[in-house]
Structure 1
C-alpha cells in the first residue's frame, strides 16, 4: 500500500471511529461503503498525484522566471552560458511534468 492510499484509508478509518463514537450508524455504513469503493480511492489517488504534479510545474515556472531575470541582467558571458544551460534543463523538466499531467487527465 503506497503512502497516498494509506493516508486515505487512515482518514476514513478516523472518520469511522468518530461516527461510531457518536453513534451515527448511517454514517458508519457510508464510510464502510466508501472504503470498499475502489473507484473513489482511484479518483483520490489521481487527484493527489495531479496536485503534486501541478505544484512541480509551478515551481519550475518560478525557477524559469528567476533564471530569465538573471539572464537579462548578466553581463558575464561565462555566467550567461551556465544560465542558458539551466534554462534549457528547466524547460525539459517542465515538458516532462506537463506530459505526466496530460496522462492523468
Structure 2
C-alpha cells in the first residue's frame, strides 16, 4: 500500500510535469488552472495532515485518561506506601503529559 506522503509527492510531481508541459506549449490558461489546482491541493493536504495530527493527539489524550483511571483505582486499593508513591508519581507524569498534549491540541485548532 502506498503511504499518504508518497502519494502526495507523486501527485505533486505529476502536476509539476503537467505545468512544465503547459509552459512548453504556451497554454497560459492551462498553466493557471494547474497552479490553482496545486495550490488548492496543497492547502487541502495541509488541512488533512493537521486533522490526522489532531486525531493522534486525541487518541493519546484518551489513552492517558484511561491509564490514569487505572492508576487511581490501584491507588485506592493499595495499602503499601511505596507502591502508592510510585503510582502517584506515574499519575503526575501522565498529568504532565496530558497538559502537554492539551497545549499541542490548542496550538493546532
TM norm. shorter chain > 0.5: yes
Deviation at 1:35, TM superposition (A): 8.1
1:77 and 2:77 equivalent?
no
2:66 & 2:85 partners in 1: Cα distance? 20
From 87, 92, 95, the equivalent of 2:96 is 92
CA RMSD of aligned residues (A): 2.5
Deviation at 1:37, TM superposition (A): 2.0
1:67 and 2:71 equivalent?
yes
Per the alignment, in what secondary structure is the counterpart of residue 46 of structure 2? Answer: helix
Size of the aligned set, in residue pairs, is 83
Deviation at 1:7, TM superposition (A): 5.4
Deviation at 1:5, TM superposition (A): 5.2
**Mind listing any 5+ residue stretches in structure 2 that lack a counterpart?**
13-36
Partner of 1:6: 5
The structure 1 segments of at least 4 consecutive aligned residues displaced by more than 3 Å after TM superposition are 33-36
Q: 1:50 to 1:5 in 2, by over 3 A?
A: same
1:9 & 1:35 partners in 2: Cα distance? 13
